[in-house]
Chains A and B, each alone.
Chain A
């Protein structure tokens, strides 16, 4: 397989080496098998669900899964729109604004956000965040009902897709922040000093030197955050009071559900074909997150190639 000079010289023929290398390859193959397994088993259990959707729900699989896809995308996009500016701001604080001494502790604090289990976020979202947002929803529904997102009538529990989006935003904040701050901190001193020496203020320096350098990294960070938000289950399952509709109205008590939340809510009681149907929807979720993550890595990779030239 691989032939490095070291290997031949240090004795690829020894039995110890062969066994060790074999174990390493076997471990790598386990990963290959596991992923193949994910695809095969989900397809095997999911395809009956796709084919049998009509029996189970009186509609085609597409019309079953489409509202869920819609809800998944909407919740994740709300999360992204809220989280990205905050994440960039927080990353800038840590990389460029905070004094060195406190930048590190601030980084730890942001990481704490990532340490909270999602089910706890969900419970907190219902008890604290939702009720806190109700006055805002009421105000929006009264003041700007002509914006389709805020058409109302406002939910009285706060368990809306918007609340779910806010919870998701909090959950993906640490990931996006961590990646952004890493890239910001890697901006070559050379370029930052070039800007400062031209008489740039700190913000002008960030715009001239830091953002151009970090742009593709920021994009791929937000896409990774998006991938996480798409697949997040429990917080949404808990917070959202879903009725499976397709609507642009983010603040009412009738909300679209998401694929993941729908599975979590229905799976424990599901039997027979319903199980297959849920697995099939999981397959769709897998495909979506795969595409998003793939795009994120592709963007990061292609810019790395461009920068290294």
Chain B
């Protein structure tokens, strides 16, 4: 029918063609099955691998469904089907790296996991002697904790200033802009900043865990500010006014009414911010350095962290390389697991602390 429409852009108004040959609802499945057959068949004949088969099947599907729709229902319908299959294909293709990555990390990392792996450091470990990531776990934990302790109060109070006090002030506008700028700071620049700062205090070649905390908080603060800001803005003004009307001072209104209402969102934001910085490598490489031993002191000496551990275990494995590379994969698995858990935690926290309303 759309063919008829196309040929006559202004059809006689007596005719009202609404029906025409239509593809059955099962068309995509039929084409998919055929495409799969073509992909596997051709792949076997030409001797291609799994990837080649998948690509062939995908292309066959896109072409098949487009041609069918075009021939049967007309150009516009063909284009519509083409776009639809292309965007879905794009989605599928984009997930291939994720699947490959997860698979690689799991299959290479699981063999490395053992009790020693979590409880030993790398101090004095040579070759395939048992060594582990204990020192890196401690370092990651302490440095991230330090960054959180700096970022959360600064971030939340800044957001409070912007939303509650500075709605019209020029300073608030400037701060909003600066937070945007901060969001764009490359992580390595944050590391350089921390180094440039502490070099003035401790002299050249300084390495210390707290420097890492400072660098990470530079990356974390804008995330916390943004999340808190969003949440505070969601709190209706009526709630604030109701509290003022009861004679409650502004600061108590903020602490007792506004913050609790937005608590779940803020906690979610903070957790996501932690998840974002816990995998950072570059700044820690620069200012926290790398070591084989456990260091509990944030304020002195090098401190190992998981990402930096992965980096060195992989790039400078020593002889023989295999045990070290295996440990790198193991650490990668642990790091990904931590980040995923934090993301999950963020969602759970958002649910648990959500203000309990009837709505």
Contacts and interface: CB of A to CB of B under 8 A. Distances in A.
Do any CB atoms of chain A lie under 8 A from CB atoms of chain B in the complex?
Answer: yes
Interface in B180-197: 180-190, 192-193, 195-197
Contact of A1 (B166, B282, B314): B166
B162 interface: yes
Name the interface size band of chain B.
Answer: 35 or more
B46 interface: no
A71 B32 CA distance: 42
B65 interface: no
B186 A289 contact: yes
Contact of A116 (B77, B89, B101): B101
Interface string A225-263: 001001111100110000000000000000000001001
Given A1-B171, A44-B196, A293-B181, A24 B188 contact: no
B357 to A, nearest CB: 22
A279 B192 contact: yes
Contact of B328 (A42, A118, A123, A129): A123
Residue from A7, A9, A31, A289 having most chain B Cβ neighbours under 10 A: A31
Nearest to B162: A28
In the A-B complex, the 6 residue pairs with the smallest Cβ-Cβ separation, listed nearest first, are A231-B186, A117-B279, A89-B90, A27-B157, A20-B251, A293-B184
Given A38-B189, A113-B98, A203-B80, 17 more contacts: A1-B166, A7-B250, A10-B248, A20-B250, A21-B161, A21-B250, A27-B154, A32-B174, A45-B196, A89-B87, A106-B91, A117-B280, A128-B100, A203-B84, A238-B311, A263-B282, A293-B180
Contacts of B315: 238
Contacts of B193: 37-38, 41-42
A233 B172 contact: no
Interface stretch (B6-14, B33-41, B199-207, B262-270): B199-207
A31 B196 contact: no
Contacts, number: 291
A93 B204 contact: no
A22 B155 CA distance: 15
B332 A120 contact: yes
A23 B184 contact: no
Contact of A10 (B89, B94, B183, B253): B253
Contacts of B241: 6
A34 B221 contact: yes
Contacts of A197: none
A4 B240 CA distance: 13
Interface string A196-240: 000001111010000000000000000010010011111001100
Contacts of A10: 244, 247-250, 253
Nearest to A281: B192
Contact of A264 (B90, B240, B282): B282
Interface in B217-264: 218, 221, 225, 240-241, 244, 247-255
27 contacts: A24-B161, A25-B161, A31-B154, A31-B225, A35-B178, A37-B193, A41-B197, A89-B87, A92-B87, A93-B91, A97-B87, A112-B98, A117-B279, A118-B281, A119-B307, A224-B184, A233-B282, A234-B311, A263-B192, A267-B285, A271-B205, A275-B204, A285-B188, A286-B189, A292-B184, A294-B181, A297-B180
B339 A116 contact: yes
A89 B90 CA distance: 6
Contacts of A85: 90
Interface residues of A, number: 96
A46 B195 CA distance: 12
Interface string A148-170: 00000000000000000000001
A28 B339 contact: no
B303 interface: no
Nearest to B198: A41
A55 interface: no
B183 A89 contact: no
Interface of A: 1-2, 4, 6-7, 9-12, 14, 16-17, 19-21, 23-28, 30-32, 34-35, 37-38, 41-42, 44-46, 85-86, 89-90, 92-93, 97, 106, 109-113, 115-124, 126-129, 132, 170, 173, 201-204, 206, 224, 227, 230-234, 237-238, 260, 263-264, 267-268, 271-272, 275, 278-279, 282, 285-286, 289-290, 292-294, 297
Residue from B90, B172, B340 having most chain A Cβ neighbours under 10 A: B90
B352 interface: no
A123 B310 contact: yes
B104 interface: yes
A27 B153 contact: yes
Interface string B294-323: 000000000000010011001100000000
B158 interface: yes
A71 B294 CA distance: 37
B101 A124 contact: yes
Interface in B70-107: 76-77, 79-80, 83-84, 86-91, 93-95, 97-98, 100-101, 104-105
Given A32-B178, A89-B86, A202 B80 contact: yes
Contact of A115 (B221, B310, B340): B340
A37 B197 CA distance: 8
